[in-house]
Structures are given as structure tokens and as C-alpha cells.
Amino acid sequence: MKMSRFHAPTLRDAPRDAELPSHKLLIRAGFIRQVTAGVYNLLPLGLRTVRKIAAIVRDEMDSAGAQEVLMPTVQPAELWEESGRWKKYGPELLRFTDRKGNDGCLGPTHEEVIVDLVRRDVRSYKQLPLNLYQIQGKFRDEIRPRGGLMRGREFMMKDAYSFDVDHDAARASYQSMYDAYFKIFARCGLDFRPVEADAGNIGGSMTHEFQVLADTGEDAIVSCSECDYAANVEMAELPAPAGDIGPAGDGAPQRVDTPGKKTVAEVTGFLGVGADRLLKTLIVVAASGEGDDETTEVYAAILRGDRELNILKVKRALGAHTVELADDATVVEVTGAPVGYAGPVGLSVPVLIDPEAARVVDAVCGANAADQHFIGVQLGRDFDPKRIIDLRMAEGGDPCPRCQGTLRAFRGIEVGHVFLLGTDYSEPMGCTFLDRNGKTAPMVMGCYGIGVTRIMAAAIEQRHDDKGIKWPVSLAPFECAVLSLGKPGDVVAQAAEEIYEGLRSAGVETLFDDRKERAGVKFADAELIGFPVVVVLGKRGLDSGQVEVKIRSDGSKYDVAIDGIVDFVTHQLGELAAR
Ligand code: ATP
Ligand code: MG
């Protein structure tokens, strides 16, 4: 491809609202253009990279025995009513009504459609296992689209769905997808970790996220320094702290004035105690049941002042479908005090306390009265929790729940997600088969997503510098660029074109920068776009029979004889791909 005819509009500046490096670079390097919030055009460069990602995904999915299909974007409401998600899904589901008055939605995911597809044609255990996947546009009306392709409203996903005769077989399907994901993300040149994750509202029992390590990632993850335990902090369990709870002494807690002191730092600073002595008391509202049977209950969740609440742990412990921090009015109603003075002593709502906080002897807590706290508080003597359960968010430095190691904290970008769904969809939707004994049973399912367009952004978060992108060979829109420093039509340009033709016929994906631009512009664009290998030919080089070759990833440069250039470039690409 010749750059003079190629639509790669590079920009000096990024749009002002772009914060993530990948967002800025994808726009500046001419890979994407925004249409509206969270919705993008892929330009030729962007599409080439997306196709490379898709090709890797297809290759590994096919090798794992999955078969490609293509389902529609538009989905009828009836299917979502059958699964029960039409009501449950919330505002990320973009719903509409067609001219005949039928309700429908743009597919954010395809469990309903695939279950309908499979239940029609698959009736016998002989047709199982079955794994179908697609690479297709999804629409989710994300509340905060962010970072260009990182969190779009419309984005490209690979979604696969496995159907098996029983749980053991479903686990085997899950494992084979897990293994395929390892290969896919490794081939995409990503530094990633599979982590234990929360099943969220897709349901299911076992789930892992594949997280690309990047400081700009939205997810917090922890992984053990010794064993292979790794989890999203939302999920990370913590071992019970050692040591007994101190004996409850005689006496009673003392009420002290703490005028205007509300935050942990203010209260502990004022009273001169460590934050680990404070019983941070958060009022939460848990909702369970559905429709007319929905009930809400208020609880107090207590942690040490130096710890953060993991609200998903509360949700799981209570079996609630949502748990939220109470609004100010509820806090005032429940504690009888303004926000900032809650404590467990004399509180009417049930108390959940984290095991670490439960071990604090001689504690400080809010007195459920404005401008007052208690000191000298003891669990058992001064208050009785309903439950002592792990409530806190894991952090770097915490002990590993599986071994003697220590957890380290990372930020991550979720590029893939595997779920063992069980019969959560097949049962309500009647996706059944006749087993070996002629008995009808629901199929056991798994579902497996990969953010194809998000991978493009995640790869850039890991590989860029202040000049631009540094593509791994496997994802680069072109493996090599040839820059002619001559004028169009002159001897230098002609010789450069011959090099370009030579590389092309050797199967190297090459872009030829034949534009009538200054050398500086060509160098800057090549670095911005991020070709792994750049070949430069100028007048002096032509005279001495040499080209300069630059490797983008490490900045190394080589002078190479023109007649050996094809071998040299192919060799370099091989080396880079193997790294
Ligand atoms: P997230 O927590 O990031 O919202 P999710 O749990 O909603 O992700 P899944 O439903 O598991 O995501 O979707 C499968 C994959 O699709 C994710 O692992 C992610 O890589 C990708 N993905 C999800 N939402 C988006 C989005 N808004 N933009 C781009 N990719 C996305
Ligand atoms: Mg989401």
C-alpha cells in the first residue's frame, strides 16, 4: 500500500477530552474517529488491527473446536422475557419498539438468542457438546463511555457459548476456553493474568477474567507473590486474622465530644488513636427478591478505620441482589445522628462486622449522636454483631488466602471473561435434550467473551511511548514501513519503491511512504503509527548501497545492504514475534 493513496489521517494533537494514552494515540495515529459518545468509525489502519485480533481469536476458537456463527444485533423482547432479563437488565439495554409495536433491543450479549437457536435444532446427547461463537458488534448504553475503544457503547466482541450434557462436561468446555484464552492473549503480545472474578448479573458459578496489566486499568486486582492465586479485588478473599479477641473488661464505653469531627482522619487525629482502632460504621441497604416479593433491609457494616468496604462481599453474604450505601436521610433515620457519627453501640439495625474489626479491643466508634463518639468500646460487652464476616477490600500487602505468600496489587483492563453458567438460561428457556437413558434434561452452559476492540486499546496501554504506538508484530496494521526520503519519481523514490515491492512479494505487509512530505513528518508518522520495523532510504544511503532499519520496540538501528534487506526484515520480524 502506498501512503500517498492511503487514508491514514494523522493528527498533531489529541482531542481535549481524551485522557487515556490509547484513546489519544488511536485518534492521532488515524486508527479511529468518533461518531458520537462511545461510538466510533474504524479507519483503514484500525480495521486492519481489529482484523488481526479477530483472526487470532478465530484461529484459537476453531482449534478449540468451537464453530463460528453470526447472530443479529436486533433481538426480540420475547426471548428476554423468557430468560427473565427483560426486566432485570437495566438501562444498559437499549430498547425500542418497531412499527408493528413489537418491543426489541440491541444485543448487549447473546445468551437468549443462542439458547433459542440451539433449543430448536439440538435434541439429543449425540449432538453435544456444542460450542458456537461469533465476532460481532454489541451495543451497551454504558453510563460512562470512556477512553475511546476502552469502554464504548458500540464495540466488537467475540462471544462463545458452550452446551454440554452435564456439569463435568461443561467444566471441560470451560477449561478448553480458558486454555484458548491463554493462547489468544499471548499471541496478541499482552502481559495478562487470569483472575477469579464476580459472576455479576450474568449468573453462573465459576468465572475468571483475563486482565491486561496496565496502570490505567479500571479494575483493581491482586495476585500472590508465591502461588498462582490471583483475583479481582471484588472477589479476593482474605484469611481470618490470627489471634483471639481480647477479653471484655468491666465498665462501659465512655462518651466523648468530637465537635465537627466526622471522617476517620478527623476523629482519630482529634482523639490521638490509630485508624486501626476505629470501628468505621457504614449503613447499607440490601434488596432481595423480585417484583412484589422484593424486600429491603438496612444493616450496619463495620470495618477498621484504615480499611475499605467491599460491598460485593456484603451482597454475597446476604444473598441480596443489590446492596448500596444508604443515603443521608436513611443514615439519619437509622442512627438518629448526622452522617459521620454512626457506631454499633445501641444501634437498632443488625450489625455485620469484619473479623479484623471484631478483634479491636478498646475501640473508638460513633455514638449515634451529633458531635459525639465512644471510646473504650468492646464487642460482646457493648454490642453484639449479627455476623462476623469478611467484608473488606483486599489490598497490596495482605496475606494470600491460599498460601503463606503476600498479595500484590495491580490495575487491570478486562479483555476477556469466561463463565460457567450452568442451567441459568437453559432451564427457564427450555433448552433441553434427551440423555442416554431417554430422559429430558437441561443443557449445561458456559459463555465466554472477549473484547476485540478493547484489545486494540489495551495493547496500546502496554506498548507506547511519547512518540506513539509500539505494535507487537501480531497486531500491527502493517509489519513494516518503507520511507523514501527522495522526491516522488526521483532515483531515491524509485529505489525505495523497489525495496517496497521486494518486501511485499516476500509476504511482508508493508506500507510505502511515498508522500511528498518532509523527512521529519515521515519519521514522526511512522513512530506515531507504530510500525514494528521501519526501512529508510535517502540519497546518501542509495549512493553507498545501504538502507537504515529502525526497530520501533527498542529503538535499535541497523545499516543494511540494500540487496539483503528482505532477509534482514523477515529475520527481524521473526525475532520480534518470538519475544
Ligand atoms: P466491564 O466490567 O468492563 O463492563 P463486563 O463484565 O460488562 O465488562 P462482559 O459482559 O463479560 O463484560 O463482556 C465480555 C468482554 O467484552 C469483556 O471482557 C470486555 O473485554 C468486553 N467489553 C465489555 N464491555 C465493553 C465496552 N463497553 N466496550 C468495549 N469492550 C467491552
Ligand atoms: Mg459492563
Check residue 366 and report its DSSP letter. E
Residue with the smallest CA separation from ligand 1 atom 4 is 151
Percent of the chain with pLDDT over 90: 92
Q: Is the pLDDT confidence value at 148 over 60?
A: yes
Q: Is the pLDDT confidence value at 245 over 80?
A: no
CA distances from 552 to 273, 293, 513 (A): 54, 61, 16
Q: Is the pLDDT confidence value at 299 over 80?
A: yes
Q: What is the average pLDDT score of the chain?
A: 95
Check: CB of residue 195 under 8 Å from CB of residue 211.
yes
What is the pLDDT at residue 283? Answer: 97
Q: Could you read off the pLDDT of 321-374 as tens digits, one per residue?
A: 899 999 999 999 999 999 999 999 999 999 999 999 999 988 999 999 999 999
What is the pLDDT at residue 210? Answer: 98
Q: Among 202, 572, 255, which residue's Cα sits nearest to residue 419?
A: 202
End-to-end CA distance of the chain: 27
Q: Among 150, 188, 159, 157, which residue's Cα sits nearest to residue 40?
A: 150
Cα 113 to ligand 2 centre (Å): 19
Cα 454 to ligand 1 centre (Å): 8
Ligand with the closest atom to the CA of 50: 1
Atom of ligand 1 nearest to the CA of 200: 6
What sign for the dihedral angle of Cα 276, 320, 171, 158? Answer: negative
Judge if the beta carbon of residue 140 lies within 6 A of ligand 1.
Answer: yes
What is the pLDDT at residue 224? Answer: 94
Judge if the beta carbon of residue 414 lies within 6 A of ligand 1.
Answer: yes
What is the pLDDT at residue 292? Answer: 84
SS3 at position 487: coil
Torsion angle, alpha carbons of 84, 89, 91, 94, to 10? -70
Residue with the smallest CA separation from ligand 1 atom 31 is 451
Determine the angle formed by the axes of helices 452-462 and 44-63, rounding to 10 degrees.
110
Q: Could you read off the pLDDT of 479-502 as tens digits, one per residue?
A: 999 999 999 999 999 999 999 999
Cα 174 to ligand 2 centre (Å): 21
Cα 70 to ligand 1 centre (Å): 19
Cα 451 to ligand 1 centre (Å): 6
| Sequential DSSP letters for 540-551 | HHHHHTEEEEEE
Residue with the smallest CA separation from ligand 1 atom 11 is 417
Confidence of residue 248 (pLDDT cuts 50, 70, 90): low
What is the pLDDT at residue 246? Answer: 59
- The Cβ of residue 293 has, within 10 Å, a number of other Cβ atoms equal to 7
Q: Could you read off the pLDDT of 129-141 as tens digits, one per residue?
A: 999 999 999 999 9
Judge if the beta carbon of residue 155 lies within 6 A of ligand 1.
Answer: yes
Q: How many CA atoms lie within 13 A of 370 on its CB side?
A: 4
Q: Which of 111, 134, 157 for a ligand 1 pocket mutation test, highest count of atoms within 8 Å of Cβ?
A: 157
Ligand with the closest atom to the CA of 92: 2
Judge if the beta carbon of residue 40 lies within 6 A of ligand 1.
Answer: no
C-alpha cell at 335: 442512627
Cα 437 to ligand 2 centre (Å): 41
Q: Could you read off the pLDDT of 555-568 as tens digits, one per residue?
A: 999 999 999 999 99
Residue with the smallest CA separation from ligand 1 atom 22 is 451
Ligand with the closest atom to the CA of 146: 1
Confidence of residue 20 (pLDDT cuts 50, 70, 90): very high
Contacts of 152 (CB under 8 A, 6+ apart): 38, 39, 40, 142, 145, 453
Check: CB of residue 477 under 8 Å from CB of residue 49.
yes
Judge if the beta carbon of residue 454 lies within 6 A of ligand 1.
Answer: yes
- The Cβ of residue 115 has, within 10 Å, a number of other Cβ atoms equal to 24
Cα 155 to ligand 1 centre (Å): 9
Confidence of residue 97 (pLDDT cuts 50, 70, 90): very high
Task: Please state the rounded mean pLDDT for residues 422-443.
Answer: 97
Stretch (H or E) spanning 41: strand 39-42
Percent of the chain with pLDDT over 70: 98
Q: How many CA atoms lie within 13 A of 424 on its CB side?
A: 18
Confidence of residue 204 (pLDDT cuts 50, 70, 90): low
SS3 at position 505: helix
Q: Could you read off the pLDDT of 73-85 as tens digits, one per residue?
A: 999 999 999 999 9
Cα 141 to ligand 2 centre (Å): 10
Q: Which is it for strands 130-139 and 67-68: parallel, antiparallel or unpaired?
A: parallel
The secondary structure of 48-91, three-state, reads HHHHHHHHHHHHHHHHCCCEECCCCCEEEHHHHHHHCHHHHCCC
Confidence of residue 251 (pLDDT cuts 50, 70, 90): confident
Check: CB of residue 221 under 8 Å from CB of residue 412.
yes
Cα 544 to ligand 2 centre (Å): 57
Q: Is the pLDDT confidence value at 247 over 70?
A: no
Q: Among 508, 517, 148, 565, which residue's Cα sits nearest to residue 526?
A: 517
- Amino acid sitting at position 367: A
Ligand with the closest atom to the CA of 202: 1
Q: Among 429, 22, 320, which residue's Cα sits nearest to residue 190?
A: 22
Cα gap 89→107, rounded to integer Å: 12
Cα gap 113→69, rounded to integer Å: 12
For 496-544, where are the E strands, in sequence order? 510-513, 533-537
Ligand with the closest atom to the CA of 209: 1
Cα gap 182→450, rounded to integer Å: 12
Identify the burial level of 153 via C-beta atoms within 10 angstroms of its C-beta, where 0-12 means exposed, 13-18 middle and 19 or more buried.
buried
SS3 at position 525: helix
Judge if the beta carbon of residue 152 lies within 6 A of ligand 1.
Answer: yes
Cα 456 to ligand 2 centre (Å): 18
